[in-house]
């Protein structure tokens, strides 16, 4: 007879399932491993664009494998928050830090907008545009050279009155061809991460720092991010989300005007923009696909976001 795992094991498996890790599969059929969880230094991240974790992380033996099957209704998880198991949790700060509000960021908000690149923009500045005009302006945008190589602009998707806004980096190949953010593999993981805290994609608003794909998925250049930022500012101002979740280094560093690595920006609240919207930073789902051992930390970030909403 198969021995039942303890409750904590159930919770851990539920979380890993939400994160697309395939250990959920043998849950019903395999005996629970007698191997204990081991704590060892995190392996060096495969990614060169992300900070290497130095904190010890708990990982199972053998390491979990990313589940590459498409997301299906059966695999969606309960909207309830599943507490992270003790073995995978990291200490959460028990303080709410005073906002780290940079005067430089406020200056930049005041000087919103790039020089008009279309006639419509000349008579109707971005910061006063409604959704329709903003969308049309983005579709015709030539404020930087990315228009030359894009297939479609990727404006944003979801509920325009959402409480939670997700801000990523830039469209990849899939997004460029479909015109929708986060629809590739990383996007599927993001969808599962949101489901784990009880949100569908339709209930949040998802956008990127850049509306056009940088060729070959290279990092956005600073001038491209600046040329595009008025659109994002306007989206934020129209939505007025209660919380912003910034995913990945490019997004976090652009929004917070810093070069601090993501690993050091996580775990605290920032205020964003003149409306001082609470903003939380987490790892990019593409990074989590390469470094699944960091998913426990992303879970901490998501539960904090859920708690705040």
| Binding footprint of ligand URA on the chain (CB under 6 A) | 168-172, 175, 181-182, 184, 186-187, 208, 248
Task: Report, in Å, the least distance between residue 170 CB and ligand URA.
Answer: 6
Q: Residue holding tokens 């784990």?
A: 196
| Closest to ligand URA by CB, 143 or 286 | 286
Which lies closer to ligand URA via its Cβ, residue 7 or residue 173?
173
CB of 252 to ligand URA, least distance (A): 11
**C-alpha–C-alpha distance, residues 274 and 103, integer Å:** 11
Segment holding 244, helix H or strand E: strand 243-247
Q: Report the phi/psi class of residue 248: left, alpha or beta, with left for phi > 0 and alpha for psi in -120 to 50.
A: left
Residue closer to ligand URA (CB basis): 59 or 294: 294
Cβ 29 to ligand URA, closest distance in Å?
34
CA dist 141 and 204 (Å) reads 25
CB 19 within 8 A of CB 189: yes
| Residues 16/259, Cβ–Cβ less than 8 Å | no
Q: Which tokens in the block code for residue 182?
A: 């986060």
Three-state DSSP class for residue 251: helix
Candidates 186, 187, 133; CA nearest to 158 is 187
What is the nearest approach in angstroms of ligand URA to the Cβ of residue 168?
3
Closer by beta carbon to ligand URA, 153 or else 208: 208
- Compute the distance between CA of residue 152 and CA of residue 149 in angstroms, rounded to an integer: 9
Minimum CB distance to ligand URA, residue 181 (Å): 4
Nearer Cβ to ligand URA (20/181):
181
Degrees to nearest 5, angle at CA 251 with 112 and 115: 25
**Residue with smaller CB distance to ligand URA, 208 or 294:** 208
Distance CA 89, CA 83 (A): 9
**Least distance (Å) between residue 24 CB and ligand URA:** 25
Ranked by CB distance to ligand URA, the top (closest) residue is 168
């Amino acid at each position: 007879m198969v021995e039942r795992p303890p409750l904590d094991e159930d919770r851990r498996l539920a979380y890993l399932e939400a994160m697309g890790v395939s250990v959920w599969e043998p849950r019903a059929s395999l005996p629970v491993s007698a191997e204990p969880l081991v704590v060892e230094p995190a392996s060096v991240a495969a990614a060169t664009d992300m900070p290497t974790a130095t904190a010890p992380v708990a990982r199972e033996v053998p390491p979990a494998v990313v589940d590459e099957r498409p997301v299906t209704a059966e695999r969606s998880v309960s909207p309830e928050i599943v507490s992270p198991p003790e073995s995978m949790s990291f200490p959460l700060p028990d303080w709410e830090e005073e906002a780290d509000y940079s005067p430089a960021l406020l200056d930049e908000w005041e000087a919103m907008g790039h020089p008009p690149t279309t006639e419509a923009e000349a008579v109707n500045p971005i910061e006063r545009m409604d959704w329709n005009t903003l969308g049309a302006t983005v579709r015709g945008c030539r404020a930087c050279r990315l228009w030359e190589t894009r297939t479609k602009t990727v404006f944003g998707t979801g509920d325009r009155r959402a409480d939670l806004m997700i801000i990523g980096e830039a469209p990849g190949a899939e997004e460029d061809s479909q015109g929708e953010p986060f629809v590739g593999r990383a996007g599927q993981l993001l969808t599962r991460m949101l489901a784990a805290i009880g949100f569908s994609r339709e209930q949040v608003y998802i956008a990127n720092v850049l509306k056009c794909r940088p060729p070959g998925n290279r990092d956005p250049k600073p001038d491209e991010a600046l040329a595009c930022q008025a659109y994002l500012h306007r989206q934020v101002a129209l939505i007025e989300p209660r919380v912003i979740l910034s995913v990945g280094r490019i997004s976090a560093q652009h929004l917070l005007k810093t070069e601090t690595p993501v690993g050091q920006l996580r775990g605290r609240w920032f205020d964003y923009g003149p409306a001082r919207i609470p903003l939380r930073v987490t790892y990019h789902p593409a990074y989590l696909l390469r470094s699944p051992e960091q998913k426990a930390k992303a879970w901490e970030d998501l539960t904090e976001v859920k708690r705040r909403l």
